[in-house]
Structure 1
């Protein structure tokens, strides 16, 4: 079973993402902020990371940069899930090494397509 880490500070959104992933037979783990997300990524070594951009403690950019610097997590596919939809935000996220960038609101089908593509 593929493991997906969800890093999202909004509890309702985080819980919905976890439930959606579990219904699709993924093992989902979650973190409420960037710092906890980095720690879980290093401990569990997920197959994919879904990460919000604007969070307390560390934002999504800082999370991605930290994970890319560690050899154990550098190659884990990473997707930003964010309300920041300006073209420069997308370009920056991809330039930092994200594999994809979904802007909120996104559909469950869009999210699952990205997850499936990156895990297969």
Structure 2
């Protein structure tokens, strides 16, 4: 179930937001200020944060800044809900890492639209990241496979030469070939993806 954290100091506003989200089958946590909100973020790692700006103890700017500075929480979608509607307030929130901005009073459709947009964007980012991971994995797998095949072919070639020409080789030449086999074997061991 998708977890949403609502951080809002006005109890009536917080209660309305929580009720709207519960009605949409979200798992909802709520906090009355930024300090409690950060404690819940750490404990629960929500999927999305809805946060007021002007609050006691820690304001919304401090909460978004904290969340963006922590590797475990930096990518959580963050929506500000506030009565502060000036361009500079919006710009400050966006620069600190907020993903969206709802101005009070807002409708249920506004809230759900913002949440849906954040999750859709997150899904696009997740798909793009997975594609890149798959590309890197395929490249590494192919490179490792090529390296393994090349090294094995060289070992087989040197071994065949040793077997076929053993009686015609002097000790130094045999030793040189054995050292080359040993070096190639060590390289195989280093690139072996299954080595423990």
TM-score of the aligned structures, taking structure 2 as reference length? 0.60
Q: Give 3-state SS (helix, strand or coil) of 1:9's partner.
A: coil
Unmatched 5+ stretches in structure 2: 121-196
Runs of at least 4 residues of structure 1 off by over 2 A?
none
Partner of 2:23: 23
Give the alignment of 1:1-120 within 5 angstroms: 1-120=1-120
3-state DSSP class of the match of 1:30? strand
Q: Deviations over 1:52-85 (max 9, x none)?
A: 0000000100111111111111110001000000
Q: CA RMSD in A?
A: 0.7
Matches of 1:66 and 1:72 in 2, distance apart? 11
**2:2 and 2:75 mapped to 1: Cα distance?**
15
Aligned to 2:30, what secondary structure does the other structure show? strand
3-state DSSP class of the match of 1:63?
helix
State the shift of 1:117 in Å. 1.6
Paired residues, what number?
120
- Relative to its length, the structure with more helix (as a share) is 2
Q: Secondary structure at the match of 1:79?
A: strand
Length-normalised TM-score, structure 1: 0.97
Aligned residue for 2:129?
none
Greater strand percent: which structure?
1
Structure 2 CA distance for aligned equivalents of residues 52 and 94 of structure 1: 14
Give me the whole-angstrom Cα distance separating, in 2, the residues matched to 1:107 and 1:91: 22
Note the residue ranges of structure 1 that are not aligned, 5 or more in a row: none
